[in-house]
Homo-oligomer: A and B are copies of this chain.
Amino acid sequence: MVSSVHSKPIAVDDQPRHAAMRFRRLWFATSLVAASASAVATPLPSWNDGAARRAIIAFVDAATKEGSPGYVQEAERIAVFDNDGTLWAEQPMYFQLAFAIDRIRAMAPQHPEWQTKEPFASILRGDVSAALQGGERAILDIVMASHAGMTTTQFEQTVADWLATARHPKTGRLYTEMVYQPMLEVLTYLRANGFKTFIVSGGGVDFLRVFAEKVYGIPPEQVVGSSIETKFEMRDDGPALVRLPKLDFIDDKAGKPVAIHLHIGRRPVMAFGNSDGDLQMLQWTTSGSGPRFGLLVHHTDAEREWAYDRQSHVGKLDLALDEAPRRSWTVVDMKADWARIYP
């Protein structure tokens, strides 16, 4: 289901550390080029000229025009973005779960007990669906086994190595190549207009930060996400932060406004999401006084991406879709609104 790449050497250079560095440099260069290009040209070139594109541009035009009723002081120009399904794809499973499953496979030789213990046994037999039938408990076991028990530095390196090599089972692309070009343009466009862009994701904050700066131009301090507990330890070779197998915070649903308040400390004026996990973030953002903007990405393109909403197990969009017209949120029809999907 998900390609396991850890057993294969990487083309020219088999040191994962170097692969990760090349990956970082490459992405950094790419995003710089993209940023400078979009800043001077027509905004949002990968968006078809429809209601969604016009709504974004109209809001930003007003927000940056002093004296306009839609004007927003620069310090208040905070825009928050969900990640999975909003900035990059999330099918057939959250990419971070694909990472976790690949890690279980890579770590299996050190854990002979996993051969007979669920959910690990099913993963090692290649039956991810069976593993996930254990529900939240199974997912938690998979996440903790793959995300805890190492220092933060070691974990970041593991994620960087995986992102540099693992490929999506359907598209064959690197996961970081499955970001949405139209949304990259929104990020660049907003920043060029004085907005600070934040990720507010149900995904793990330490996972996101490994690529957010290179791929989205969003620095670590502007990434908010779910977390496990970490512990400060003084070791022989200096202090370390160790990742513990204990949930700290789930940044989803009603947790999103809570995390926004805790990390950002002021209410955003723009919020972008794609699922019911973003409902409260959009409610919180758009019910503040003054100009407000909410947007939902509706996955309607079964051909170029995926089509799913009310019945989907991943990225379910139901309540928020009903609420959108009542609250004047912009709904992106991916098939009609986006001229391109991936970069």
The verdict on A263 contacting B261 (CB below 8 Å), with A75-B213, A75-B219, A222-B221 known, is no
Give the CA-CA distance A258 to B228 in the complex, in Å. 11
Give the CA-CA distance A208 to B198 in the complex, in Å. 21
**Copies held by the complex:** 2
Q: Is A231 an interface residue (CB 8 A)?
A: yes
Partner of A221, one of B241, B258, B264: B264
The residues of B that contact A264 with a CB separation of less than 8 Å are: 220-221
The residues of B that contact A257 with a CB separation of less than 8 Å are: 232, 239, 241
Q: Is A234 an interface residue (CB 8 A)?
A: yes
Give the CA-CA distance A165 to B282 in the complex, in Å. 36
Give the CA-CA distance A239 to B280 in the complex, in Å. 8
Annotate A276-315 by CB proximity to B: 1 below 8 A, 0 otherwise: 0000100110010000000000000000000000000000
Annotate A4-35 by CB proximity to B: 1 below 8 A, 0 otherwise: 00000000000000000000000000000000
Give the CA-CA distance A227 to B222 in the complex, in Å. 19
The verdict on A220 contacting B280 (CB below 8 Å), with A254-B232, A257-B239 known, is no
Q: How large is the interface on A (under 10, 10 to 19, 20 to 34, 35 or more residues)?
A: 35 or more
Give the CA-CA distance A263 to B221 in the complex, in Å. 6
Annotate A221-233 by CB proximity to B: 1 below 8 A, 0 otherwise: 1110001001110
A223 touches B258 (CB 8 A): no
The residues of B that contact A230 with a CB separation of less than 8 Å are: 258, 261-262
Give the CA-CA distance A227 to B265 in the complex, in Å. 12
Partner of A232, one of B198, B241, B284: B284
Q: Is A109 an interface residue (CB 8 A)?
A: no
A residues neighboring B (CB under 8 Å): 75, 78, 152, 196, 198, 205-206, 209, 213, 219-223, 227, 230-232, 234, 238-239, 241, 248, 254-255, 257-258, 261-266, 280, 283-284, 287
**Besides A227-B262, A232-B255, A241-B284, 5 other CB < 8 A contacts?**
A221-B263, A230-B258, A230-B261, A232-B280, A241-B258
